[in-house]
């Protein structure tokens, strides 16, 4: 998947109404490898996408700019982020194409297709993670992918650096809830395979110092 060109990146950033958000969007879309990874996975698999923990809707904006969406619904429990994302969608004329909804990630939605959960799980307690993953699996269509990017509990300098960074995200107020439980690779693999999904996993650190892994769970039937 080719990287997003500068014109599209600036067009997306300019639809957000605060200078800090515009700066954040430019940096996030140009440096975070998760967006291109999701794009590569769903290319050639034309299904709608449920984005759990969508924030201000950047994954939807990236995939729409790449021409890869047949439908998109983003969910987040933070009204500030949903309202900001909705304003940007209206500014870009995409509010009917890319829908953002204030909702809990464990809530039932009508959409069946792919599901993305990027950097969300560790903000939930262990029981909440189990409920969210079970709900995500129920929203997969046959051939759909559950795509998870998350820090995983392990002994590495990246893991401890990420935990240190998470403290400042919480202290700054950007994240209303701090990290609750860092899952291990074995925890997630066991839960996803018990839901009947075929699981693969690889590092997705990119050019960042953060501990990030990409888990892909496919519903084969």
| Domain ranges for the chain | 6-218
Q: pLDDT 10s per residue in the chain (221 long)?
A: 556 778 888 999 999 988 888 999 998 898 889 999 999 999 999 999 999 999 999 999 999 999 999 999 999 999 999 999 999 999 999 989 999 999 999 999 999 999 999 999 999 999 999 999 999 999 999 999 999 999 999 999 999 898 888 777 665 655 566 789 999 999 999 999 999 999 999 999 877 888 899 999 999 87
**Domain 6-218, classified CATH 3.40.50.150, yes or no:** yes
Exposed/middle/buried for 103, CB within 10 Å: 0-12, 13-18, 19+? middle
Rounded Cα distance between 207 and 191, Å, is: 29
Q: What are phi and psi of 135, to 5 degrees?
A: -65, -40
């Amino acid at each position: 998947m080719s990287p997003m060109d500068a014109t599209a990146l600036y067009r997306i950033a300019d639809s957000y109404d605060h200078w800090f958000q515009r700066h954040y969007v430019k940096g996030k879309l140009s440096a975070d490898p998760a967006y291109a990874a999701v794009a590569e996975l769903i290319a050639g698999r034309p299904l709608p996408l449920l984005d759990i923990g969508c924030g201000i809707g950047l994954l939807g904006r990236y995939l729409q700019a790449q021409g890869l969406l047949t439908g998109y619904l983003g969910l987040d429990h933070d009204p500030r982020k949903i309202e900001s994302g909705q304003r940007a969608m209206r500014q870009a004329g995409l509010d009917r194409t890319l829908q953002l909804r204030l909702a809990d990630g464990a809530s039932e939605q009508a959409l069946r297709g792919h599901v993305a959960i990027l950097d969300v799980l560790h903000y939930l307690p262990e029981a909440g993670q189990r409920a969210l993953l079970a709900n995500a699996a129920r929203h997969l269509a046959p051939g759909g992918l559950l795509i998870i990017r998350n820090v995983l509990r392990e002994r590495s300098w990246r893991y401890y650096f990420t935990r240190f960074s998470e403290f400042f995200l919480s202290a700054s107020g950007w994240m209303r809830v701090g990290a609750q439980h860092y899952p291990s690779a074995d925890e997630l693999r066991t839960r996803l395979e018990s839901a009947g999904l075929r699981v693969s996993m690889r590092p997705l650190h990119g050019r960042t110092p953060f501990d990030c892994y990409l888990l892909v769970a496919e519903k084969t039937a």
